[in-house]
Amino acid sequence: MTLVKEDQQLSPIAPLLQPLTIRGMTIPNRLVMAPMTRSFCPDNLPGDDVVGYYQRRGEGGTGLIVTEAIGTDHPAAVGDTGLGEMNLPLFAGQDTVDAWARVVRAVHPTGAKIIPQLWHQGPMRMPNAEAPAFSPSGHYGDPEKAADYYIEKAKLIAATDMPVPSDEEIADVVEGFGRAAAQAMAAGFDGLALHGAHGYLIDSFLWEETNRRTGRWGGDRSQRTSFAVEVIKACRRAIGEDKPLIFRFSQWKQQDFRARLAETPQELEEILGPLADAGVDLLEASVRYFNTPAFPKESDLSLAGWAKKLTGKLTGAVGGIGFSKGMYDTMSSTSDGANNLPLVLERFEAGEFDIVSIGRALLHDPSWARKARLGEPLPAFDPQSLTRLT
């Protein structure tokens, strides 16, 4: 139900209830469902349970839904990363288009917009009989730097044979992103998002630890953006000029929480500038806690704030919104529902970011956006939410 203007003004999060136009898409508020892998797509297809899962988030007042990451048709795009991620969705033909079209048709009557996030797991994927893991330089990273809960799987992945792909093989993967983007448009989505963070394929080209190439796809910090730039261009051609394109990036990687793409704002500009120029409309800065200063020696500005300052693009904040701890600190224990929205609003009204992406809170409670709007108590996070589609 659309709020009347007076109701919006009375809400404790009134500034976040204003609409926003991103290229040709207008969302009714700034509350966004962050993409979260759920592993409920047997045969790589969303079923009735997934349709209902996203529909309920729209009914609960979320302005924009970004789906779980959906793989391209490349044989090594998705699989098990050692975290039990199976039953993952793909864009790989008309049956996948038809299945996601059902999701879109269920969400649109709620008033929310919905876009898919495309990904390729790259070096994070466990090898299997179909194809080896795909990495720019055949390298995973240092498994000893992985988090404790993941280190044994990291060692397994790092020890496997990852061939160094040819320039032509890399170009084929780029084309696969374009095909997936075209299929997303055929399914009726309102735009597109790209997963360029957390050590997955696009990010692995940006990170010097995993991209040791020279030539077309490697080199210095700016040259390492070549793969991401070509993926963005391929997707822009597929979705046209009216649809928005969102790009998620991060400093940290699952291989190394302390990893950094950039040590200074100038280095960050070398990375984000080419992405912005290639056709990105909004940069989503993924951090473990949304207001962590990106470069403490410079200021307390967040990573999203720096992205906006350096590129002039719209930005999104994600990480710990609605909680007092980051995601990997609450995966195995119940977390208090800390209402940190006053701090979110303070940063939002200072102009650091334009949208707020909510992950665990919306995964646990489809009506979280409505409760936040009304000033109701926000629920705690129960890790059991990860095992079901509520």
Question: Is residue 329 over pLDDT 60?
Answer: no
Radius of gyration of the chain (CA): 19
pLDDT of residue 318: 96
Instruction: Give one DSSP letter per residue of 31-80, joined into a string.
Output: EEEPP------GGG---HHHHHHHHHHHHTT-SEEEEEEEE-SSTTSSS-
Cα(319)–Cα(292) distance, rounded to whole angstroms?
A: 10
Place of tokens 């692995």: 204
Cβ atoms of 356 and 16 within 8 Å: the answer is yes
Q: What is the pLDDT of residues 125-141, one digit of tens each?
A: 887 767 889 999 999 99
The string of pLDDT tens digits covering residues 277-312 is 999 999 999 998 999 999 999 999 999 999 999 999
Residue among 137, 106, 105 nearest 123 (CA): 137
| Rounded Cα–Cα distance for residues 4 and 281 (Å) | 29
pLDDT by residue (tens digit) across 214-271?
999 999 999 999 999 999 999 999 999 999 999 999 999 999 999 999 999 999 999 9
CB contact at 8 A, 333 and 383:
yes
Catalytic residues: 200
Comparing C-alpha atoms, which of 189, 289, 307 is closest to residue 243?
189
Distances (CA, A) of 158 to 121, 172, 192, 259: 14, 24, 31, 17
Which among 326, 324, 284, 320 is positioned nearest to 305, based on CA atoms?
284
Q: Where would I find the H helices in 256-312?
A: 265-278, 303-311
Confidence of residue 383 (pLDDT cuts 50, 70, 90): confident
